[in-house]
A = this chain, B = another copy of it.
């Protein structure tokens, strides 16, 4: 068994190399960590939301979201307001500055991602898409222990 041909190794190395290319853009060029980038993406994309909703749709746990949100709020990229309905909740929303920065960063990331994906033959792209979707299902379907990244103890 050669390590290069061992599927778990291959997947990890390829995904890492791709993620590194993206991080060069939002990280080195726009000063965002991966968690900040995801959080901004989520808030830009959807309605203002609270921490648990965000955790659910970002594959981050509540601690990660809380800390990324604190940093983003410090930079003025998002706002955090206590909910009037339930004062335990905070409602996160993207600010105008946040929107502006996200737009720039997103264009950069998308451009780099497209550059890579468009260097692939269309059939290969389709194969990748199909294979990843199937892998995603297979991991969920065969999960044993507790579900990953639980939000509540």
Chain A stretch 91-121: residues in CB contact (< 8 A) with chain B: 106, 109, 113, 115-117, 119-121
Chain A stretch 1-26: residues in CB contact (< 8 A) with chain B: 1-4, 6-22, 24
The docked-state distance in angstroms from the alpha carbon of A32 to that of B131 is: 29
The docked-state distance in angstroms from the alpha carbon of A143 to that of B58 is: 28
A119 near B141 with CB under 8 A, answer: yes
Residues of B within 8 A of A58 (CB): 3
Question: Which residues of A are at the interface with B, using a C-beta cutoff of 8 A?
Answer: 1-4, 6-22, 24, 38, 41-42, 45, 57-59, 106, 109, 113, 115-117, 119-121, 124-132, 134-139, 141-143, 145, 148
* 18 more A-B residue pairs beyond the given contacts A9-B38, A127-B130, A128-B134, with a C-beta to C-beta distance below 8 A: A6-B41, A8-B109, A10-B136, A11-B15, A12-B15, A14-B15, A14-B132, A14-B135, A14-B136, A14-B139, A17-B148, A18-B139, A116-B138, A116-B139, A117-B138, A119-B138, A125-B131, A131-B131
